[in-house]
């Protein structure tokens, strides 16, 4: 069965020292530890260890072969977004990272594809960079699920999404910069609790603000990690919409009726969770995603979908590759 992984990350091992370039000290960087190991740095301090799959094409292909993944679409590690920086600098950072992504793909252009990043704090620059990058060979754009206190229903972000639809650029929305870190200092709770809630917040901000009424139907949106906690809570949201006018104010239709406006990936790590997602979104709106090559990703890539006890081969084929081929035009 053909397999396209739509959610994987890269991190370049060589890009300019951004601290020096911009004269301020908390940009992401890279420190080589050994041939196979590296360290993401932030303002020169060690931040997180990574291994060479993040930056070496041959290493990725080797692991893709091991798990029979035909194509991998990769996007930047969200620490590179630079949404909190001056927009001009974030645009320059995006160009550097986007060009590095294409360089990594050039190792095997048929099997490695890239999504670009954009300086989403400045809508004109974000529109400019997504157009430039798509012309250069990127297949989509990845955005963070918020810019400081602006959710996806922000007027500027909606304008950006309209622009993406107009140039046929698919959009992956990835949670980042998680809420309430002060209450989640340990046990990776930011990843286990806040990250799924961030995605839930993004989906609801689009639905309840009525943004989907303003966004064109041909906009291709996909939310990472199975859409976070949205599927389990859709009944709660529908109930609130029926019972409370403040929930209905800007949203003319039942919240769950908008579920056909977006895709989700399959990175949910449990048969039951994937079942629920199939019931909510339908197999035609779920795309195989691993979060490779990070430890919270699906290490044995494809095992969940391929080994699912009740999905048919046809359904598995849709999730593993067919939906993504259409979504990303590949
Ligand atoms: Co990810």
Domain locations along the chain: 80-327
Give residue 53 CA to ligand 1 midpoint distance, Å: 14
Residue 225 CB burial class (10 angstroms; 0-12, 13-18, ≥19): buried
Give residue 243 CA to ligand 1 midpoint distance, Å: 35
DSSP-assigned states of every residue in 249-293: TT--S-GGGGGGG-EEE-TT-SHHHHHHHHHHH-GGGEE----BT
Give residue 291 CA to ligand 1 midpoint distance, Å: 5
Give residue 253 CA to ligand 1 midpoint distance, Å: 31
Enter the pTM of the model: 0.97
Give residue 212 CA to ligand 1 midpoint distance, Å: 24
For domain 80-327, the CATH superfamily is Metal-dependent hydrolases (3.20.20.140)
Give residue 196 CA to ligand 1 midpoint distance, Å: 12
Cα separation, 228 vs 106, whole angstroms: 32
Give residue 179 CA to ligand 1 midpoint distance, Å: 17
Give residue 269 CA to ligand 1 midpoint distance, Å: 14
Give residue 297 CA to ligand 1 midpoint distance, Å: 8
Give residue 123 CA to ligand 1 midpoint distance, Å: 23
pLDDT, position 25: 82
Give residue 292 CA to ligand 1 midpoint distance, Å: 8
Give residue 262 CA to ligand 1 midpoint distance, Å: 17
Please report, in tens digits, the pLDDT of each residue of the chain (330 residues total). 899 999 999 999 998 999 999 998 899 999 999 999 999 999 989 999 999 999 999 999 999 999 999 999 999 999 999 999 999 999 999 999 999 999 999 999 999 999 999 999 999 999 999 999 999 999 999 999 999 999 999 999 999 999 999 999 999 999 999 999 999 999 999 999 999 999 999 999 999 999 999 999 999 999 999 999 999 999 999 999 999 999 999 999 999 999 999 999 999 999 999 999 999 999 999 999 999 999 999 999 999 999 999 999 999 999 999 999 999 999
Residue 144: both structure tokens together:
């963070």
Give residue 116 CA to ligand 1 midpoint distance, Å: 14
Closest CA to 52 of 41, 63, 65, 67: 63
Give residue 267 CA to ligand 1 midpoint distance, Å: 9
Q: Are 291 and 267 in contact (CB under 8 A)?
A: yes
Query: What DSSP element (H or E) covers 96?
Result: helix 87-105
Give residue 71 CA to ligand 1 midpoint distance, Å: 17
Give residue 174 CA to ligand 1 midpoint distance, Å: 6
């Amino acid at each position: 069965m053909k397999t396209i992984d739509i959610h994987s990350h890269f991190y370049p091992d060589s890009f300019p020292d951004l601290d020096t370039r911009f004269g301020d000290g908390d940009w992401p960087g890279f420190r080589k530890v050994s041939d196979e190991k590296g360290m993401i740095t932030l303002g020169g301090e060690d931040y997180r260890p990574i291994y060479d799959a993040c930056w070496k094409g041959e290493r990725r292909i080797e692991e893709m072969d091991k798990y029979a993944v035909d194509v991998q679409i990769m996007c930047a590690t969200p620490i590179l977004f630079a949404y909190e920086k001056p927009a001009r600098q974030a645009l320059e950072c995006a160009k550097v990272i986007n060009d590095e992504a294409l360089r990594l793909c050039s190792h095997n252009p048929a099997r490695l594809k890239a999504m670009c990043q954009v300086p989403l704090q400045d809508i004109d620059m974000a529109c400019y960079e997504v157009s430039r990058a798509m012309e250069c060979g990127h297949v989509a754009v990845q955005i963070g699920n918020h810019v400081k206190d602006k959710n996806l229903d922000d007027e500027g972000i909606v304008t950006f999404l309209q622009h993406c639809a107009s140039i046929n650029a698919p959009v992956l929305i990835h949670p980042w910069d998680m809420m309430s870190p002060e209450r989640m200092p340990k046990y990776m709770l930011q990843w286990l609790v806040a990250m799924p809630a961030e995605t839930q917040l993004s989906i609801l901000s689009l639905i309840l603000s009525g943004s989907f009424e303003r966004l064109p139907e041909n906009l291709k949106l996909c939310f990472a990690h199975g859409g976070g906690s949205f599927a389990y809570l859709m009944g709660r949201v529908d109930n609130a919409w029926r019972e409370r006018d403040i929930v209905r104010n800007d949203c003319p239709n039942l919240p769950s009726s908008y579920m056909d406006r977006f895709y989700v990936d399959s990175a949910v790590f449990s048969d039951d969770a994937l079942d629920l997602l199939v019931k909510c979104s339908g197999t035609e709106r779920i795309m195989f995603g691993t979060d490779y090559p990070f430890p919270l990703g699906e290490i044995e890539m494809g095992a969940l979908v391929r080994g699912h006890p009740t999905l048919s081969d046809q359904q598995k084929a849709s999730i593993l590759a067919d939906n993504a081929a259409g979504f990303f035009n590949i």
